[in-house]
Amino acid sequence: MDYTSQNQNDKKQMLETIGINDTYELFNVIPSHLRAKDLNISCGKTEQELLNYFSKIASKNKKLVSFRGAGIYDHFSPSLISEIIGRSEFWTAYTPYQAEASQGTLQAIFEYQSLICTLTGLDISNASLYDGATAVAEAALLALRVSGKNKILISSALHPDYIQTVKTYLENSKTKIELIPLSEKGNIEKNIAETFIDEDTATVIIQSPNYFGIVEDMDVLSSLAKSKNSLFADVVNPLSLGIFKAPGEYNADIAVGEGQVLGSPMSAGGTTFGFMVVRKGLEWKMPGRIVGQTIDKDGKRGFVLTLQSREQHIRREKATSNICTNASLNALAACVFLSGWGNEGFYNLSQINISKARYAFEKIKSLDGFKAKFDKRIFFNEFVIETSKDIKKINKILLKNNILGPLDLSTAGDSFGKCLLFCVTEQRTETEIDNLVEFLAKA
């Protein structure tokens, strides 16, 4: 199968029009010693064969009841999302450069930007970035660009993949990257951060809830950043903003994060999308596509890609970023997701995540051999438990019973040697949680 549609007669006519006898003549310009041998890839399959073949491969994956998060979360996806992102008018469209022929995508992104702005309480959102990790890296670059400073300060409780991505992005620059160590209470303390921040700090990047689930006191950390004229960039879980303080409320300059929780499946970690939203004044320094509202010749409202002179296709080597692709379809899913809850419903969704995680936390920490690593802390849907039992054995038993157990944190540093990162979302039922607790008790 190759999806071409020309028959022999068409081909003959086309060759005649060109004035050649064989398609191969069109490749005469390629030096003959460079010509490829036949590709060693098995011959093509029919649609039916493909379905069988890939169903078999799919069966080598195990769909599990997940108590694991760490950046990707199992959340409920309303039926409307698959219906809308499944519309071929959306998924087979190109980037909306020809605005008049792309009003659907453009308005949807404009709505997405509006929803992200109201959710975070900040002024200007772009049309989305690749994922949470790259969004943090872009935030760091934005801050370096705006401030002309040379150092960035990052919470050590930022997702380790994100920290690594920032380091990779800045590998070939002269930027100094410093990590603020975690306090014994599992959060970033102002008095520790204070000893790292200086006048050359372009930005302070804090994740909340942090990698260990704990909600940070962002007011205090934001003020600290401001006191040194550093931009405050936060990495937030957008679902938590139904309850927890919004970036706009603690004067963040930049908010970024992973958007998967807003209606994208886990898909082994991709595709997802990153969001970025900034306070007014930073829009011309922002990376990525942005949609704006305008009017057409007849005065009708319409939407276009705007502030484009920031971007690579115009400014080339002087662009704010090399980014071109966004994650439009995932942003569309987020738009559909955010538009159907209403304020109360969204608050409720946030609250259920907290309640279920709290329910599991209380039960697990009172088991013999398990205790809370950071007690009396506020968390969203993740928490750390320390155990005297064999972590590998626990997860093996759970896996056998189709449960994806907590993440083994032993690689997160010496103090986490016997620690587990649990995640409970609104998807987990009381029965599933009780079931998990029973397995742990027996382990």
Partner 1 sequence: MEKLLNELSSQCKPAYSVKCDVEINAEIPENLKRKSNLGLPNVAENDLLRHFTNLSRRNYALSTVFYPLGSCTMKYNPLINERIAKIDAFNDIHPYQPVESMQGVLEIVYELEKDLCEIVGMDSFSLQQAAGAHGEFAGLLVIAKYFKSIKQKRTKIIVPDSAHGTNPASITFAGFEIVPLKSEADGSISLEKLKEVLIPEVAAMMLTVPNTLGVFEKNITEISKLVHDNGSLLYYDGANLNAVMGIVRPGDMGFDVMHINLHKTFSTPHGGGGPGSGPIGVKSFLGSFLPVPRIEKRKNKYVLNYRKSKSIGKMKAFFGNFSVILKAYVYVKALGGKGLKNVSKQAVLNANYMLAKFKDKINVPAGSRCMHEFVLSPKAILENDVRTLDVAKRLLDYGYYAPTVYFPLIVDEAIMIEPTETESKDTLDKFIDVVNKIILEEAIEDPQKLKNAPVNTPVTRLNEVEAARKPILKWQ
Partner 2 sequence: MNIPQDLLYTKTHEWVKVEENKVKIGITDFAQHEITDVVHVELPEVGRGIKKEQPAAVVESVKSAFDIYAPVSGKIVEVNDKVLGSPELVNSSPYENGYLFVIEVSDEKELNDLLKADDYKNLI
337-376: contacts with partner 1 (CB under 8 A): 338-349, 351-352, 354-356, 358-359, 362
| C-alpha–C-alpha distance, residues 71 and 257, integer Å | 10
Q: Are 291 and 92 in contact (CB under 8 A)?
A: no
Cβ(251)–Cβ(233) under 8 Å? no
Using the contact rule CB under 8 A, the part of the chain among 13-21, 57-65, 259-267, 301-309 near partner 2 is: 301-309
Which DSSP helix (H) or strand (E) runs through 431? helix 430-442
Our finding on whether 308 is near partner 2 (CB under 8 A) is yes
DSSP 328-371: HHHHHHHHHHHTSSHHHHHHHHHHHHHHHHHHHHHHHHTSTTEE
Judged by beta carbon, residue 3 or residue 414, the one nearer partner 1 is 3
Shortest spacing between CB 143 and partner 1, in angstroms: 15
Q: Closer to partner 2 at the Cβ: 312 or 348? A: 312
CB under 5 to 8 A by kind: which of partner 1, partner 2, none does 184 bind? none
CB burial of residue 35 (10 Å; 0-12, 13-18, 19+): exposed
Task: Kindly tell me which of 1 and 184 has the beta carbon lying closer to partner 1.
Answer: 1
| One residue of 107, 147, 251, 410 binding partner 1 per CB under 8 A | 107
- Give the shortest CB-214-to-partner 1 separation in angstroms: 11
Size of the site for partner 2 (CB under 8 A): 7
Contact with partner 2 (CB under 8 A) among 307, 349, 367, 397: 307
Contacts of 216 (CB under 8 A, 6+ apart): 155, 187, 188, 206, 207, 208, 209, 210
- 53-72 residues near partner 1, rule: CB under 8 A: 53-55, 57-64, 66, 68, 70-72
Peptide bond just before 271 cis, omega within 30 deg: yes
Site membership for partner 2, residue 309 (CB under 8 A): yes
Distance of CA 337 to the CA centre of its chain: 15
Q: At what angle do helices 160-170 and 132-147 cross, to 10 degrees?
A: 50
- The answer to whether residue 256 forms part of the interface with partner 1 (CB under 8 A) is no
- 271 in Cβ contact with 291 (< 8 Å): no
| Residue among 269 and 369 whose Cβ is closer to partner 1 | 269
Q: Smaller CB distance to partner 2: residue 146 or 385?
A: 146
- Can residue 413 be called a binding residue for partner 1 (CB under 8 A)? no
CB of 197 to partner 1, least distance (A): 22
173 binds partner 1 (CB under 8 A): yes
Minimum distance from CB of 281 to partner 2 (Å)?
11
- Who's near 188: CB < 8 A, 6+ residues apart? 155, 156, 157, 180, 182, 206, 210, 216, 221
Given partner 2, partner 1, none, residue 441, with its beta carbon under 5 to 8 Å by kind, binds none
314, 324, 399, 441: residue in contact with partner 2 (rule CB under 8 A): 314
Of 80 and 307, CB closest to partner 2 = 307
Which of 145, 167, 285, 365 binds partner 1 (CB under 8 A)? It is 167
User: 104: how many CB neighbours lie within 10 A of its CB?
Assistant: 15
Check binding of 315 to partner 2 (CB under 8 A): yes
- Contact call for residues 198 and 180 (beta carbons, < 8 A): no
Q: Which stretch binds partner 2 (CB under 8 A): 25-33, 159-167, 254-262, 305-313?
A: 305-313
Positions in 183-212 near partner 1 (CB under 8 A): none
Shortest approach of partner 1 to residue 415 CB, angstroms?
20
**d(C-alpha 292, C-alpha 107), whole Å:** 9
The Cα–Cα gap between 237 and 218 comes to 13
Q: Which does 388 bind (CB under 5 to 8 A by kind): partner 1, partner 2, none?
A: none
Quote the distance between the C-alpha of residue 153 and its chain's center. 21
Pick between residue 50 and residue 314 the one whose CB is nearest to partner 2: 314
Strand ranges of the sheet holding 382-387, from the earlier edge strand across to the other edge? 370-372, 382-387, 419-423, 407-408
